[in-house]
Amino acid sequence: MHSVKSCSIKYLNLKETELRPGLPGSESPERKAGLGIRIDGSALSGKIPDLIGNLTRIDRLRISDLNGAPTGFPDLQNLTNMNTLILRNCLITGQIPAYLGELTAVKTL
């Protein structure tokens, strides 16, 4: 389990998430709807947290305008329900991982 020790979020948009009790990605029967995460225009810095790759109910992920040092592509291979992936101005370097081609639900990349 990961914990947040300190955080300075400027903007977190969880629009249209239909959050219910339980953690996103849990196998709870109450949690049938997908989860959309949108973080943009936030002036956040650093790499995209690996924890996002464990939230398996994510079907829409949009992150943009991160600050800081360049970083590698985040591990998102467990997000098999994802149909929209937008990573813009995130200072990602290196190759696009081959597993993205195996995420057949992705319609917007």
**Using one digit for the tens of pLDDT, what is the confidence trace for 1-45?**
444 445 555 555 655 554 444 444 444 443 456 788 888 877 778
Number of structural domains, the chain?
1
Range of the domain at 36: 1-109
**pTM value > 0.85:** no
Rg (CA), the chain: 14
Look up the CATH number of the domain holding residue 38: 3.80.10.10
Count Cβ atoms below 10 Å from residue 38 Cβ, excluding itself.
20
Give the CA distances from residue 11 to residues 7, 22, 42, 103, in Å, rounded to whole numbers and listed in that order: 12, 22, 5, 28
Q: How far is CA 56 from CA 16, 47, 78, 80, 104, in A?
A: 17, 19, 6, 7, 14
Residue 73 reports pLDDT greater than 80: yes
